[in-house]
Amino acid sequence: MSPTGVKGIGSILPNDNKELIRQAAEGSSQAFELLITPYTGRLFNTLMHILRCRESAEDVMQNALLQAYLKLDTYRGHSAFYTWLYRIAVNMALSYRRATKPAVSMDQQQEMTGQEVIDHNEAVGEALEREERAAVLHAAIGALSEQYRSIIILREIEGCNYDTIAEILSISSGTVRSRLHRARLQLKEKLLPLLNEHPSLS
């Protein structure tokens, strides 16, 4: 078998990560592609929320996946593979933000909020109000301090449990709970002035 080939790949179940990890660690780029495919969409979404810039998220995504591929032999299976992958990507995104602190354009803000397609059977006013609510919420999240932003994104947007967040951010579950509580308070403080600017959303 060639270094990039996958022996019996058709017989591997999608959730059989152990075999895919073994083959990818031996040099199979095809196995690695199959391994990461179930997670790339959610992971990119998380990076968009952290970085608030599509180009930056794409750069960090590529670098994180490359690093994961090169370091795959260090994965010991003590946590779920996606947790290990998220830890690499989130830490890289946070480091990128500290180094660059990029400005956010209006177009990038719209991309990040993911405007919904208006249903022709739905009142245009309701659709616009929903988009405006999303924009206000994401603006408030973007105004949070770094440690609170990552906690809110992983818990409230990605739906990760406390233990998974703890593994991704390399902190204890207790720290996750306390930071999440403070993050929610800070988010409420950030939302109030924004809602005052948009009284129709209050």
Q: What is the pTM of this model?
A: 0.61
Residue 7 domain-assigned (yes or no): no
Whether pLDDT at 97 is above 90? no
3-class DSSP assignment, residue 23: helix
Do 128 and 195 lie in one domain? The reply is: yes
Question: Tokens 């993911």 appear where?
Answer: 114
Do 131 and 92 lie in one domain? The reply is: no
Do 127 and 199 lie in one domain? The reply is: yes
Handedness of CA 186, 187, 190, 195 (dihedral sign): negative
- Domain of residue 56, residue span: 13-102
Out of 12-26, 31-45, 56-70, least confident range: 12-26
Check if the beta carbon of residue 192 is closer than 8 Å to that of residue 158: no
Residue 2 domain-assigned (yes or no): no
Do 198 and 141 lie in one domain? The reply is: yes
Look at the chain and count its residues: 202
Rounded CA separation 78/67 (Å): 19
Mean pLDDT taken over the chain: 77
* Nearest C-alpha neighbor of 63 from the set 44, 37, 83, 42: 44
| The last residue of a domain, from among 37, 72, 102 | 102
Whether pLDDT at 116 is above 90? no
Rounded CA separation 86/90 (Å): 6
Do 142 and 96 lie in one domain? The reply is: no
Residue 109 domain-assigned (yes or no): no
* Number of domains comprising the chain: 2
DSSP secondary structure letters along 86-134: HHHHHHHHHHHHHHH-----HHHHHHHHTPPPPPTTS-HHHHHHHHHHH
Residue 112 vs residue 52, higher pLDDT: 52
Residue 152 vs residue 14, higher pLDDT: 152
Residue 164 makes CB contacts below 8 A (sequence gap 6+) with 80, 83, 86, 154
